[in-house]
Structure 1
Amino acid sequence: MIELQTEQDFENALSELTEYGDHPLGELPEYQPRIKALKKALSVYGFDIENFRKDTPTSKH
Protein backbone atom coordinates (compact mmCIF):
# COMPACT_ATOMS: atom_id res chain seq x y z
CA MET A 1 0.00 0.00 0.00
CA ILE A 2 1.17 3.50 -0.76
CA GLU A 3 1.42 5.77 2.26
CA LEU A 4 1.11 9.51 1.93
CA GLN A 5 3.04 10.87 4.89
CA THR A 6 3.73 14.42 3.80
CA GLU A 7 1.99 17.07 1.78
CA GLN A 8 4.60 16.43 -0.93
CA ASP A 9 3.63 12.74 -1.06
CA PHE A 10 0.00 13.77 -1.46
CA GLU A 11 0.84 16.22 -4.24
CA ASN A 12 3.02 13.67 -6.01
CA ALA A 13 0.28 11.04 -5.89
CA LEU A 14 -2.26 13.54 -7.17
CA SER A 15 -0.07 14.69 -10.04
CA GLU A 16 0.77 11.11 -10.98
CA LEU A 17 -2.91 10.17 -11.04
CA THR A 18 -3.80 13.26 -13.00
CA GLU A 19 -1.03 12.59 -15.48
CA TYR A 20 -1.73 8.90 -16.02
CA GLY A 21 -5.43 8.76 -15.23
CA ASP A 22 -6.49 10.18 -18.59
CA HIS A 23 -3.42 9.07 -20.48
CA PRO A 24 -3.23 5.93 -22.62
CA LEU A 25 -0.45 4.70 -20.34
CA GLY A 26 -3.00 4.59 -17.55
CA GLU A 27 -4.96 2.03 -19.54
CA LEU A 28 -2.03 -0.38 -19.74
CA PRO A 29 -2.39 -3.35 -17.38
CA GLU A 30 1.00 -2.75 -15.76
CA TYR A 31 -0.12 0.69 -14.60
CA GLN A 32 -3.48 -0.41 -13.20
CA PRO A 33 -2.18 -1.63 -9.82
CA ARG A 34 -0.26 1.63 -9.32
CA ILE A 35 -3.27 3.76 -10.23
CA LYS A 36 -5.54 1.73 -7.94
CA ALA A 37 -3.01 2.02 -5.12
CA LEU A 38 -2.76 5.78 -5.56
CA LYS A 39 -6.55 6.14 -5.55
CA LYS A 40 -6.77 4.00 -2.43
CA ALA A 41 -4.04 5.99 -0.69
CA LEU A 42 -5.84 9.25 -1.47
CA SER A 43 -9.21 7.82 -0.38
CA VAL A 44 -7.74 6.93 3.04
CA TYR A 45 -7.54 10.68 3.58
CA GLY A 46 -11.09 11.20 2.37
CA PHE A 47 -9.98 12.47 -1.01
CA ASP A 48 -12.18 11.39 -3.90
CA ILE A 49 -10.14 11.62 -7.11
CA GLU A 50 -13.16 11.02 -9.33
CA ASN A 51 -15.04 14.02 -7.95
CA PHE A 52 -11.89 16.12 -7.92
CA ARG A 53 -11.32 15.47 -11.60
CA LYS A 54 -14.91 16.38 -12.46
CA ASP A 55 -14.52 19.68 -10.62
CA THR A 56 -11.18 20.48 -12.20
CA PRO A 57 -11.36 22.47 -15.41
CA THR A 58 -9.85 20.66 -18.35
CA SER A 59 -6.85 22.16 -20.05
CA LYS A 60 -7.70 25.21 -22.07
CA HIS A 61 -6.92 25.15 -25.78
Structure 2
Amino acid sequence: MSIKSRWPRWLRRGPLEMAACVVIALGIFMMLQPFALVLFTWSFVTTLAGVVMFTIVSKFPD
Protein backbone atom coordinates (compact mmCIF):
# COMPACT_ATOMS: atom_id res chain seq x y z
CA MET A 1 0.00 0.00 0.00
CA SER A 2 1.51 3.32 -1.04
CA ILE A 3 1.35 6.51 0.99
CA LYS A 4 -0.76 8.13 -1.73
CA SER A 5 -3.65 5.77 -1.09
CA ARG A 6 -3.69 6.55 2.65
CA TRP A 7 -4.22 10.29 2.24
CA PRO A 8 -7.81 11.53 1.82
CA ARG A 9 -8.50 13.33 -1.45
CA TRP A 10 -9.04 16.72 0.24
CA LEU A 11 -5.63 16.44 1.97
CA ARG A 12 -3.72 16.20 -1.31
CA ARG A 13 -1.36 18.94 -2.42
CA GLY A 14 -3.48 20.41 -5.24
CA PRO A 15 -6.60 21.54 -3.35
CA LEU A 16 -4.70 22.73 -0.28
CA GLU A 17 -2.14 24.67 -2.32
CA MET A 18 -5.03 26.42 -4.05
CA ALA A 19 -6.58 27.24 -0.66
CA ALA A 20 -3.24 28.62 0.55
CA CYS A 21 -3.00 30.80 -2.56
CA VAL A 22 -6.51 32.11 -1.89
CA VAL A 23 -5.53 32.99 1.70
CA ILE A 24 -2.42 34.81 0.44
CA ALA A 25 -4.47 36.72 -2.14
CA LEU A 26 -7.03 37.61 0.53
CA GLY A 27 -4.26 38.96 2.76
CA ILE A 28 -2.87 41.08 -0.05
CA PHE A 29 -6.35 42.39 -0.87
CA MET A 30 -6.82 43.24 2.81
CA MET A 31 -3.52 45.12 2.78
CA LEU A 32 -4.36 47.18 -0.31
CA GLN A 33 -7.98 48.09 0.38
CA PRO A 34 -8.68 51.62 1.69
CA PHE A 35 -12.01 50.97 3.43
CA ALA A 36 -11.57 49.20 6.77
CA LEU A 37 -8.68 49.63 9.17
CA VAL A 38 -9.41 46.29 10.85
CA LEU A 39 -8.82 44.47 7.53
CA PHE A 40 -5.53 46.28 7.09
CA THR A 41 -4.58 45.41 10.67
CA TRP A 42 -5.03 41.68 10.10
CA SER A 43 -3.63 41.63 6.55
CA PHE A 44 -0.04 40.73 7.49
CA VAL A 45 -1.15 37.88 9.76
CA THR A 46 -3.44 36.55 7.02
CA THR A 47 -0.73 36.71 4.37
CA LEU A 48 1.79 35.10 6.70
CA ALA A 49 -0.65 32.29 7.55
CA GLY A 50 -1.14 31.63 3.84
CA VAL A 51 2.61 31.49 3.22
CA VAL A 52 3.14 29.11 6.15
CA MET A 53 0.24 26.96 4.96
CA PHE A 54 1.66 26.88 1.43
CA THR A 55 5.10 25.90 2.74
CA ILE A 56 3.69 23.02 4.78
CA VAL A 57 1.24 21.82 2.13
CA SER A 58 3.91 21.78 -0.57
CA LYS A 59 5.42 18.78 1.24
CA PHE A 60 2.19 16.76 0.95
CA PRO A 61 1.88 13.99 -1.66
CA ASP A 62 0.23 14.64 -5.02
Structure number having the greater helix percentage: 2
With normalisation by structure 2, the TM-score equals 0.40
Higher RCO, 1 or 2 (CA under 8 Å, sep at least 6)? 2
TM-score (norm 1): 0.41
